[in-house]
């Protein structure tokens, strides 16, 4: 698609790394018991799953929309006690007769995906505007950026990026498109905002890129569906742990847990990373963990 030599070539999938966030409170909340079935609905590089398997003799189902992530997880975890499933966790159907003793989901994009420039999630390196978690789907960020009308773009950036300058940004995108690369789009977004905004705590394109990624992958709709279905996959006393990274996700998890009479909330306030973890893994700074238990 692109011949620009500045694009980073695809890394071997076995080279993907995954530093699991909030692993200690998550494992403590799951209270892993021998002989149970456990579900990692977003296995990524397999960090959380590896710890669940190490905690007790259990069987684990590992799900991911990203085929590369599943390949990396297989290389890390093996297959003796793990069943792999490629797809959207909202569409998963457990095996007949199986009830999980625990299920987890670490939402969003993991560090391995962000680090691999060719996936187009980050604007730190020049890459195609892709952002698909599942490369089998057709919709890409380029399709949205280059073909959606200005109002639809502005609404998307405002709603999914919580970006107050969404109208200015959408106007600049429409006036300068087409865009083919992440860095070109990020530059146009930065030029659309006031100078004071450009020198803030985060890059001015951060929220817009988040909005595009959420839209490309239908992340919030998938999360809503997963939250509605997952309690039925749990046995009585089974635990459900969700790690989110921004308020749009966390609010959905909070209210879904609170309003579901199948669940008892175990964390009235979300658990956050300790200072030592935040220093070791900066990605953990925005992570929030909520836990619930399946009622009898």
How confident is the model over 180-231, as pLDDT tens digits? 999 999 999 999 999 888 777 789 999 999 999 999 999 999 999 999 999 9
Q: Is 112 within 8 Å of 47 (Cβ atoms)?
A: no
**What distance in Å separates the CA atoms of residue 93 and residue 290, rounded to the nearest whole number?**
23
- Average pLDDT score, the chain: 91
What pLDDT band is residue 234 in, cutting at 50, 70 and 90?
A: very high
State yes or no: pLDDT of 1 exceeds 60: no
Per-residue pLDDT tens digits for 56-84: 999 999 999 999 999 999 999 998 999 99
Strand ranges, E, within the chain: 37-40, 59-64, 82-86, 100-106, 234-244, 263-265, 288-294
Q: For residue 37, give the 3-state DSSP assignment.
A: strand
**What distance in Å separates the CA atoms of residue 143 and residue 163, rounded to the nearest whole number?**
20
Which residue's entry shows tokens 């966790």? 89
State yes or no: pLDDT of 294 exceeds 70: yes
> pTM value?
0.90
Instruction: Please measure the distance between the N-terminal and C-terminal CA atoms of the chain and give it in whole angstroms.
Output: 53
Q: For residue 159, give the 3-state DSSP assignment.
A: helix
Indicate the Cα dihedral angle 275, 108, 157, 193, nearest 10°: 40
């Amino acid at each position: 698609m692109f011949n620009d030599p500045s694009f980073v070539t695809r890394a071997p999938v076995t080279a993907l790394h995954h530093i699991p966030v909030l692993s200690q409170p998550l494992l403590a909340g799951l209270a892993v018991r021998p002989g149970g079935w456990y579900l990692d609905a977003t296995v990524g590089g397999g960090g959380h799953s590896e710890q669940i398997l190490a905690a007790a003799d259990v069987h684990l189902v590992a799900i991911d929309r990203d085929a590369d992530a599943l390949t990396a997880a297989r290389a890390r975890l093996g297959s003796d006690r793990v069943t792999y499933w490629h797809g959207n966790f909202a569409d998963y159907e457990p095996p007949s007769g199986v009830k999980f003793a625990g299920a987890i989901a670490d939402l969003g994009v993991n560090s391995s995906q962000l680090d691999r420039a060719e996936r187009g999630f980050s604007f730190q390196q020049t890459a195609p505007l892709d952002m698909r978690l599942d490369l089998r789907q057709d919709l890409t960020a380029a399709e949205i950026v280059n073909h959606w009308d200005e109002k639809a773009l502005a609404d998307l950036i405002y709603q999914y990026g919580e970006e107050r300058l969404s109208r200015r940004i959408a106007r600049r995108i429409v006036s300068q498109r087409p865009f083919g690369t992440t860095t070109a789009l990020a530059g146009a977004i930065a030029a659309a905002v006031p100078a004071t905004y450009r020198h803030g705590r985060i890059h001015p394109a951060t929220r817009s890129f988040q909005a595009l990624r959420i839209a490309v992958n239908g992340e919030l709709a998938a999360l809503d569906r997963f939250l509605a279905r997952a309690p039925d996959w749990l046995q009585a006393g089974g635990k459900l742990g969700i790690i989110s990274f921004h308020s749009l996700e966390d609010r959905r998890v909070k209210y879904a847990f609170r309003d579901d009479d199948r669940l008892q909330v175990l964390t009235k306030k979300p658990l956050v990373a300790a200072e030592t973890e935040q220093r070791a893994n900066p990605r953990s700074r925005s992570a929030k963990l909520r836990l619930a238990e399946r009622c009898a």
